[in-house]
Amino acid sequence: MKYNIAVIPGDGIGPEVIEQTMRVLEEIGRKYDHEFAFTKVLAGGCAIDATGECLPKETVDICRSSDAVLLGAVGGPKWDHMPGSERPEMALLGLRGQLGLFANLRPAMLFEELADACPLKPELVSGGLDIVVVRELTGGIYFGEKATVETPEGLEAYDVEKYSETEVRRIAKVAFDMAMKRGKKVTSVDKANVLESSRLWRRVVTEVAADYPEVELNHFYVDNAAMQLVRGPKQFDVIVTSNIFGDILSDEASQVTGSIGMLPSASLATGNFGMYEPVHGSAPDIAGKDIANPMATILSAAMMLRYTFGLMEEAEAIEGAVQKVLADGYRTADIAKEGEDIIGTQKCGDLIVQAIQG
Ligand code: IPM
Ligand code: MG
């Protein structure tokens, strides 16, 4: 079968980690007899340099007509002086909004081989961590009305946090469906003691829960959730929350695992379409040096195989290959301990490809 993938290498280490990921997908294609057809497109800082816009229309069109999108990372100091609405990061928001990618899945898991990297006391994480943050991605304060206006008190700026029942219901369903395939527990995070939008959020999530009697639901205020994530992270299975709270809590959850360079993500639309990217950013300080860890992007490709293409065995082959490379003791600089041998980006790709070949 042929799968069309729009590829956005982007900026910083993006192109390097994407190159290794495409090699891994090609190897999966050879082994399992699939054709992955890649179309590279521009977004982010490199698109600004080439076209004057961070998200050219052609990029959106090609993404739309593809089966899935694979993205490296966007942004860097070169474009930091640009006004907010023109920065490379706006390409991400544009892609999310225009492609309808409302559900962002951010797994935070502790790789057994990297347990030492976890900054928490071992007793807090013994037996491993396996949390997935389900973040609403096309609503809330990121997409609400915003403006800067003149007032007698000087300039005033605002960003509106707003959610409709429909938006809350569809993200809640994603979270409950996910929980059914995992630990059957959903924690909904809001600020219902203060925010009206959170009170609606809580009511709708509770309504959706009625259709999932097997799933245990609890509600946390966001401040408490932030605390519980470092105090007792094992209590979490699926966390469902708004765009802004999910932005914050997913960074916290990933740091708790100690290996942010390892974590993949998926942003899904209705149906099977999705955009897949590592949780880490463009890391401009290490770009072009063959030292970046490509595993998060490679694991994002595994999520693509699983969620968009339904290729479970192939997804597991990638995850197993990454696990094997770690178990064999290979480490990129970001996850190496004192005294461990360090491999580069390219070599890491080589080893994962070899592990897939078996
Ligand atoms: C993320 C990032 C983005 C966000 C930025 C770069 C716009 O922090 O994907 O978490 O806030 O959503
Ligand atoms: Mg973020």
**13 and 106 both lie in a single domain:** yes
- Measured from the CA of 75, which atom of ligand 1 is nearest? 6
Q: Choose one of 8, 135, 241, 247 to mutate for the ligand 1 pocket test, by most ligand atoms within 8 angstroms of C-beta.
A: 247
Ligand 1 within 6 A of 89 CB? yes
**Nearest CA residue ID for atom 12, ligand 1:** 247
> 28 CA distance to ligand 2 centroid (A)?
30
- Judge if 251 and 270 occupy the same domain: no
Q: Ligand 2 center to residue 281 CA distance, Å?
A: 9
Q: Whose CA is nearest to atom 7 of ligand 1?
A: 89
User: Do 205 and 279 lie in a common domain?
Assistant: no
Separation of 279 CA from ligand 1 center, angstroms?
9
Residues 99 and 153 in one domain: no
Residue 285's pLDDT is: 97
92 lines ligand 1 (CB under 6 A): yes
82 and 156 in one domain?
Answer: no
237 closest CA partner among 109, 67, 144: 109
- 328 and 243, same domain (yes or no): no
Give the pLDDT score at 260: 83
Considering the domain architecture, whether residues 128 and 238 belong to the same structural domain is answered as yes
Q: pLDDT at position 218, please?
A: 98
* Distance between CA atoms of residues 193 and 159, nearest Å: 20
**Of residues 179, 197, 193, 181, the one with CA closest to residue 240:** 179
Task: Give the position, in ligand 1's atom list, of the atom nearest the Cα of 137.
Answer: 12
Give pLDDT, residue 322.
Answer: 97
User: 321 by DSSP, 3-state: which?
Assistant: helix
Sheet holding 103-109, edge to edge: 35-40, 2-10, 68-73, 274-278, 264-268, 103-109, 130-136, 238-241, 185-190, 216-221
Please indicate, yes or no, whether residues 4 and 61 belong to a single structural domain of this protein: yes
- Do 126 and 249 have their domain in common? yes
State residue 258's pLDDT score.
82
Give every CB contact of residue 299 below 8 A, 6+ residues apart in sequence: 262, 263, 264, 278, 318, 319, 322
Q: How close is the Cα of 328 to the center of ligand 1, in Å? A: 33
Q: Which domain holds residue 176?
A: 122-255
CATH number at residue 156: 3.40.718.10
Going from the Cα of 116 to the center of ligand 1, the distance in angstroms, rounded, reads: 27
184 and 265 co-located in one domain: no
**pLDDT tens, the chain, 358 aa long:** 899 999 999 999 999 999 999 999 999 999 999 999 999 999 999 999 999 999 999 999 999 999 999 999 999 999 999 998 899 999 999 999 999 999 999 999 988 888 888 899 999 998 889 999 999 999 999 999 999 999 999 999 999 999 999 999 999 999 999 999 999 999 999 999 999 999 999 999 999 999 999 999 999 999 999 999 999 999 999 999 999 999 999 999 999 988 888 999 999 999 999 999 999 999 999 999 999 999 999 999 999 999 999 999 999 999 999 999 999 999 999 999 888 889 999 999 999 999 999 8
pLDDT the model gives residue 343: 97
Helical segments of 181-311, H only: 196-209, 222-231, 243-257, 295-307
Beta carbons within 8 Å of 210's beta carbon, 6+ residues apart: none
What pLDDT, on a 0 to 100 scale, did the predictor assign at position 161? 98
- Tell me phi and psi for residue 63, to 5 degrees: -60, -45
User: In the chain, how many domains are there?
Assistant: 2
Question: At a CB cut-off of 8 Å and minimum separation 6, what does 325 contact?
Answer: 348, 351, 352, 355
163 alpha carbon – ligand 1 mean position (Å): 19
Look at residues 196, 224, 255 and tell me which one is the last residue of a structural domain. 255
Is 247's C-beta closer than 6 angstroms to any atom of ligand 1? yes
Residue nearest (by alpha carbon) to ligand 1 atom 10: 247
Beta-bridge partners for 70: 7, 276
User: End of a domain among 239, 255, 271?
Assistant: 255
Could you tell me if 34 and 138 lie in one domain? no
Smallest CA separation from ligand 1 atom 4, residue = 247
Give bridge partners of residue 266 from the DSSP assignment.
105, 276
* Per-residue model confidence (pLDDT) at position 339: 84
pTM for the model stands at 0.95
Which of 202, 236, 255 is the endpoint of a domain? 255
Active site residues: 142, 191, 223, 247, 251
**Ligand 1: residue whose CA is nearest its atom 2:** 247
Pair (15, 111) in one structural domain:
yes
Residue 9 to residues 59, 178, 216, 311, Cα–Cα distance (Å): 12, 29, 40, 23
Mutate-to-test residue for ligand 1 from 92, 136, 254, 255, highest number of ligand atoms within 8 A of CB: 92
Nearest ligand, CA 243: 1
The ligand that comes nearest to the alpha carbon of residue 10 is 1
Amino acid 350: pLDDT: 98
